A and B are shown apart, each in its own frame.
Chain A
């Protein structure tokens, strides 16, 4: 006679039910958008198809291509040099190369426009002291190309971080074997290391592409027509909400396709190399070409951090007397408030969802759990639009509740990522031992998973904090009336051609993010040591 397992499966039913409710709430705006898309008027879609769609698609694709190439080149090579060679200043660069992540892409774009435009220091210098044709560097002709490189400078740390960790985890065994088989250092890099690191590099690149799709401030400022700027234009400038929905849904489908391709590519190229690989015995070699190593590390740091930050500091000094300090302190308070609280909400929800997924072992729940991570791939404008469609009939739009709701949808994946990898590292026997020693789900979460994963939780908090601090489109669309943050204020000054005045706000975002990044780096190192 067969035993029914209902009693066993129903053990965690309240947890599973709550987890499902959270997941549905997170997916709600996407579902509403898709519903509107399929039940809506097709004439708008036809109109878009005949007019702007091709232009938007081409620009978006071209921008992704340029940014990806830049990010790959300036992300992978320094990661390889730092993971393998010892040179003076290596430790400094290992930290410094993360720092461009502290500069939001739109601030990078505003700053470089100021540096490179006709009246800026670069062209002025060329006109006065050089025989080179200064017109050649006029960014007006190379808007999308310049923007692609700037976004690459701002986003390469995603590729750098992923490659750096992957290169460090590839132990000496593979390198020794490939050398023993007669491969040169360069051949080892191309034929062994790069293929082994492909999953990590693709994950990093996926984040870069998602950030490019989400970028609004920089593309608007450069006047490049991408999907996201198109959604904003249809909605705010033309008042065409149907057009915005149609564009958002096309973008959504594109993102889903990318998401699928990323998962498929990762599935096809999963390598399980860490166990048979001697990670700790690998010694850093002294490089025979130190100048090349410095060049590789210095270029991204110089153009991705030092130059824009120096320019912003310079502008800050010049406009210091014009700064409205009470307002500045208000905005710092507002930014820290939204970043802190949304980070707390997000890590709490992320931990809860991952924990329920782990204890329930239900495959469909795991699928839904993956699906909620999709929010990170959704541009802020799409999330904003979805939420406005749901809540437009009541007064909730423009409240903190909806603002935090949008942040949770957008950044849940950011919070989940470190917690997920930390939880996956814990053996299942921790849970089994906990149960065997009499712990129910709540005690298991509180007494085991919370303390055991504390470094991951802190890392997740910092990552979300930085992302929300830099976030622009959602805050622009959904923040309560008269509520501004450092990011929105920077943007408002920039679009009103008062860039120098925005510098102090940009600088504070950069300083706050940099400090958080340095703390994060410290925690990542601790986590690596612990594991």
Chain B
């Protein structure tokens, strides 16, 4: 494996561990999304990889070289890891060209034109950071990281400061850039759509523990637990054969005939292509979709293929409940 993280342990004080026993590996050229809630330690994890934070246990190796373990700590300056920070920290006293070529070894300078073209910054090199947009600043940060041909690229919430119109195009651009340069990339995000759209594999992280590490389709269809299932989209809860099951809203069909599942409609939201319906069945809130508007307070019947039912252990919900 190209990147190997084994039994990684990280805490700032012993009473609160941020990362507990994290083990996973990444193949060369893969784009991995690291998904977790705000404040769950995602950025800390990236900093551990980059050597900006020391680890308290376990090991990190990249391209068959140990970066950090019990005996080794490779300084951040010596790791060939590119880091694109969340707040696009371009140095304000330097123009875009100087930012990109900041402390750059001579051997990489020949790549400048290629990287500028790839990131679409050819005509902005003379400008200063405050003279360009958020999206352009982000591309400049990516260019600064990529020109050094990093063995690993870390992207920390790269879309969080962008508005929805340029967010989609930026996603496509980043995907294109990292695949074209065959750069192994870890993308940290709290937005499931970012992860589903462009990742080869997704890693879901909660309470300091890896919950699931799989490709997007498998993750969506076969979530490892109720937390992973809910992170990836809404779930409707139902009792079936004396057990609790879950079903995704898009698997629920409105039935013209009577069925076992009668829903009282509470709200019907117009979403352009279709309506999103919120209703109640046996005191459980359900969501599903309808091509036509449904009157509020009316009763309708639904059904679904039994094979799409997802089962979790009943204690799963309690396990992931945040402490009050």
Contacts and interface: CB of A to CB of B under 8 A. Distances in A.
Interface in B106-153: 144, 148
Interface stretch (A124-132, A216-224, A261-269, A431-439): A431-439
B323 interface: no
Nearest to B53: A8
B249 interface: no
Contacts of A5: 54, 56, 73
B235 interface: no
Given A432-B47, A439-B103, A452 B56 contact: no
B197 to A, nearest CB: 25
Interface stretch (A112-120, A377-385, A394-402, A440-448): A440-448
A14 interface: no
Nearest to A4: B70
B103 A443 contact: yes
Contact of A433 (B89, B92, B148): B89
A429 interface: yes
Given A1-B70, A443-B103, A436 B52 contact: yes
Interface stretch (B76-84, B161-169, B175-183, B293-301): B76-84
15 contacts: A3-B70, A5-B56, A7-B73, A8-B54, A427-B87, A432-B85, A435-B52, A435-B75, A436-B50, A437-B103, A439-B103, A447-B103, A452-B92, A452-B93, A530-B92
Interface in B55-92: 55-58, 68-70, 73, 75-78, 81-83, 85-87, 89, 91-92
A2 interface: yes
A438 B89 contact: no
Interface residues of A, number: 27
Interface in A352-411: none
Given A2-B56, A435-B77, A452-B93, 4 more contacts: A3-B56, A3-B58, A3-B68, A436-B76
B9 to A, nearest CB: 7
B9 A439 contact: no
Nearest to B74: A7
A436 B83 contact: yes
A239 interface: no
Given A432-B47, A432-B83, A438-B77, A3 B54 contact: yes
B102 interface: yes
B81 A436 contact: yes
A443 B102 CA distance: 11
A447 B58 CA distance: 35
Contacts of A11: 75
Nearest to A2: B57
B129 to A, nearest CB: 11
A192 B69 CA distance: 54
Contacts of B70: 1-4
Given A427-B87, A429-B87, A432-B47, A437 B102 contact: yes
Interface in B1-25: 9
A7 B76 CA distance: 12
Contacts of B87: 427, 429
A451 interface: yes
A439 B83 CA distance: 14
A11 B58 CA distance: 21
B52 A432 contact: yes
Interface residues of B, number: 32
B100 to A, nearest CB: 10
Interface of A: 1-5, 7-9, 11, 427, 429-430, 432-433, 435-440, 443, 447-448, 451-452, 454, 530
A246 to B, nearest CB: 44
Given A439-B77, A439-B103, A451 B93 contact: yes
Interface in B199-223: none
Contacts of B57: 1-3
A432 B56 contact: no
A396 B87 CA distance: 51
Nearest to A438: B77
A439 B54 CA distance: 18
Nearest to B8: A3
B103 A430 contact: no
B191 to A, nearest CB: 20
B77 A440 contact: yes
Contacts of A437: 102-103, 144, 148
Contacts of B103: 437-439, 443, 447
B113 to A, nearest CB: 20
Contacts of B51: 435
Report which residue of A3, A7, A429, A530 has the largest number of chain B beta carbons within 10 angstroms of its beta carbon: A3
A3 B73 CA distance: 10
Report which residue of A1, A4, A429 has the largest number of chain B beta carbons within 10 angstroms of its beta carbon: A429
A133 B76 CA distance: 78
B55 to A, nearest CB: 5
3 smallest CB-CB distances across A and B, nearest first, come from A8-B54, A429-B89, A429-B85
B115 to A, nearest CB: 15
Nearest to B83: A436
Contacts of A447: 102-103
B274 to A, nearest CB: 36
Contacts of A439: 77, 103
B183 to A, nearest CB: 15
B169 to A, nearest CB: 24
Contacts of B148: 437
Given A3-B56, A439-B103, A427 B75 contact: no
A155 to B, nearest CB: 35
A436 B144 CA distance: 11
Contacts of B78: 438
A11 B52 CA distance: 12
